[in-house]
Amino acid sequence: MSRFTGRKKTVSNVRNETGQGNFRTPPVKHSLIYQIRTNRKAFVVYMVLSVIVLAVLVRSAWNGLWESAFVCFLTMNLFLIPPFIERSFKIELPTALEVLAFVFVFCAMILGEIGCYYMKVPLWDSALHTVCGFMFAAFGFCLLDILNKNKYNKFDMSPFFMAFIAFCFAMTVGVMWEFIEFLIDTVMSKDMQKDFIIKNLYTVTLDKTNSNTVIAIENIESTVINYGDGNQWVIEGGYIDVGLRDTMKDLLVNFAGALVFSTIGFFYVKHRGKGIIASQFIPRSLSEPVFAGEYEKTACELDKNENNSVQNACELPQEQTKEPVEEEMQENGEESDGDRQLVSAVSSKSRRKSTKGQE
């Protein structure tokens, strides 16, 4: 059953919807909200989180916190990404993955940004980046699995190679996100790449001889920043590291999440259908690609029992193996060696045409 149309996708249904013989996948005209409703559990989670986000949006707008209101508006749009992916790429997201995506967006945007959980809860950012690597490794397996199932453009990939590509896909997404964080911090003067207080500093920048000698500054107790107007800012506890350690930490936990799911996916592909965990997170393709020629052949096979005219148009009579010239010569009893050769050549040509017509 199709989650998009609510009915079985047969060739007759496709013909009624498209009006032509080029079968791909039935057109989807439902809204994204309707798309979420096809999965009851995911829809319940979506509605609960949406009500909370709307409440936070109203409160933020009432108090004049327009940046928080914008975050809420952005969150509502991010909730629509899973159904958009399903509708655009003709795939089905498992319930566990779809719920995880909704919860991930809520924890990152509402709790993390507005609720300041990134600062209040230890390892909050690390947990989200780990889940991110886990999820995108699952999407990587989905893309490769669809390619492997395509019998017209088949990529014969081993389970190890599929796991490796899925892992690289998840890591690429993690690196791209760090680029976005750096760009926002640089252009908009934000602090998405969180800073750390460190006690030891090793650098060649302070080497006055320019001989690439590492200068070690250890056991830093405080750092004093002098402003141009004579004011000072004292950083207690050490020296401030601007974003580098946060970036590397995020990439490491993203690496861990991608590695875990790539390992799970490897055994899932190697023993197809036996991976309980992987099957709950790897999206599935809803339809196999069918070319126009195969559609017409399939349509004829479905309708030939219902309509004799369609049957006659789809296949040639089984007994039509002789040309009229051959039958006429047999009736008249006139058949020489040359005639037999001529009739044999005409019959062979007729058989080749019949074979091409059936194909």
* Domain presence at residue 359: yes
- Number of structural domains, the chain? 2
* Mean pLDDT, residues 78-93 taken together: 84
Q: Which amino acid is at 14?
A: V
Structure confidence at residue 30 as a pLDDT band (50, 70, 90): low
Assess if residue 123 is contained within a domain. Answer: no
- Indicate whether 223 belongs to any domain: yes
Report pLDDT digits (tens) over 94-103.
888 899 999 9
Contact 261, 267 (CB under 8 A): no
Its domain, for residue 339, covers: 323-359
The predicted-structure confidence for 292-341, as pLDDT tens digits, reads as follows 333 344 444 444 444 544 444 444 444 444 444 455 455 555 445 555 55
* Number of CB atoms found within 10 A of residue 17's CB: 13
State which of 181, 206, 241 marks the end of a domain: 241
- Asked, for residue 169, whether it belongs to a domain, the answer is no
Q: Is residue 139 assigned to a domain?
A: no
Residue type, 79: F
Confirm if 138 and 265 have CB atoms less than 8 A apart: yes
Per-residue pLDDT at 344: 57
Residue 224 forms part of a structural domain = yes
pLDDT at residue number 311: 47
Q: Classify residue 94: in a domain, yes or no.
A: no
